[in-house]
Amino acid sequence: MGQLIKRNIGKILLDGGFLLHHDLDCALEEQKHSKELLGQVLIRKGVIKEEDFRVPLLIQGHLGSIESAVKLAAGERQLLGTLLVNSGHITSEQLDYAVAEQKCSGEKLGETLKRLGMLTGQQLSALLEFQGNQDSDNVSPLRLGELLVATGQITRDQLEDALHQQTKSSKNLGEILVESGYLHQSGIEYGVRLQKMLLKSTLAAIICLGVNTTSPDAYAETGELCLFSKQLQSSPMREQYITRIATESATLLAYNTTTDSQYQSDASDDFSFSSFAFGEKSSSFSQGGTIDQFSRDCLACHDGGHASDVKIDYRSSPNNKSMRYGGAKDHPIGMDYNLYSGMDPQNYKPVAAFNSKMIFMNGKVGCLTCHNPLKPEKTHLVMSDQGSALCLTCHNK
């Protein structure tokens, strides 16, 4: 049995497309004051219907390990590439590239995906097992009939009757339910839509569980390149990653003024950062509503579940001295640098003085300000911090 990891209901909802990041951010912020359960807040605010919220709860307990998650497979059998795209782990363009590579190499697609760094061995094995289970008669809460019962569309007796009729017919379950008068076609379509959303949540969980097969701090312990950075070392992910940041970031702020070459950034690209997400979205929803999406992508793994836990302070009050960074935790993010440097020029260097590769998304400090996932070195710093050079690009002391 693999490691058991409690899958956050917020992640399940986001992965399946039940709600948007903004809606979850607002609900979690309100939850701090109301002391309600997350579902109660979301339902009260009209973000999600009560019957829809109950459905993800059906699978939450199954997403603690790969072994249990793959058994949730239901619906029509899908190709490996389709499963990966549906999980959000890769794009259609990345799949096309992998297929082209496969045709040249003669490998199986899974082996090509592994070679390109798009999948780990455990992710591939899990997806193939999931694929095989789609053809089986295993009991799963994601089967259409179970979802229709769970959402109150039909009763258990009606489902049992329809399943009994199906054994004597070549018709699918939906047709039988409609013909028996148990449900309108719109109800079937609603159930199929829920099924697809939950399957997407399940696939995303499987991909996440297969990222790290040892411990949350395995990267720190072994020095092995993390999967996300490994993916960015080869085409087409690298080019897409660079292009994304070039198109989504209008602000490339220069930073370091030192002339000592050992302190200079050794990043090899002018546009070295991106919000391109290969799978999970950030779990740090409660860290502030305006944290840039690129930082959220980083924190998706650095939540203590699959990579070392990063405790981020969200700061955006330059005139509040009680909010000063004391160095006790990881560097805070969310600060508008121009506001901070304008309020306290003695401690912060002006933007005009900077001249290296550190990015402020929308003018704010984020993960990509100091870290470049394209760099394979441990911690992915954009430049050497020898003599606190990295810190002193912004701070005067």
How far is 2 from 209, CA to CA, in rounded Å?
9
Contact 173, 166 (CB under 8 A): yes
CA–CA distance, 131 with 133 (Å, rounded to integer): 5
| Three state DSSP letters for the chain | CCCCCCCCHHHHHHHHCCCCHHHHHHHHHHHHHHCCCHHHHHHHCCCCCHHHHHHHHHHHCCCCCHHHHHHHCCCCCCCHHHHHHHHCCCCHHHHHHHHHHHHHHCCCHHHHHHHCCCCCHHHHHHHHHHHHHCCCCCCCCCCHHHHHHHCCCCCHHHHHHHHHHHCCCCCCHHHHHHHCCCCCHHHHHHHHHHHHHHHHHHHHHHHHHCCCCCCCCHHHHHCCCCHHHHHCCCCCHHHHHHHHHHHHCCCCCCCCCCCCHHHCCCCCCCCCCCCCCCCCCCCCHHHCCCCCHHHHHHHCCCCCCCCCCCCCCECCCCCCHHHCCCCCCCCCECCEHHHHHHHCCCCECCHHHCCCCCCCECCECCHHHHECCCCCCHHHECCCCHHHCCHHHCECC
Q: How many CA atoms lie within 13 A of 190 on its CB side?
A: 18
> What pLDDT does residue 209 have?
85
Q: What Cα–Cα distance (Å) separates residue 174 from each residue in 74, 134, 135, 189?
A: 15, 18, 18, 9
Report whether 183 contacts 149 (CB < 8 A). Answer: no
Residue 227: per-residue pLDDT: 64
Q: Where are the domains of the chain?
A: 9-73+137-209, 80-133, 218-397
Q: Which of 313, 222, 229, 306 is closest to 274 using CA atoms?
A: 229
Residues of the chain with pLDDT under 50: 1-3, 212-223, 251-289, 355
Question: Residue 283's Cα: distance from chain center in Å?
Answer: 8
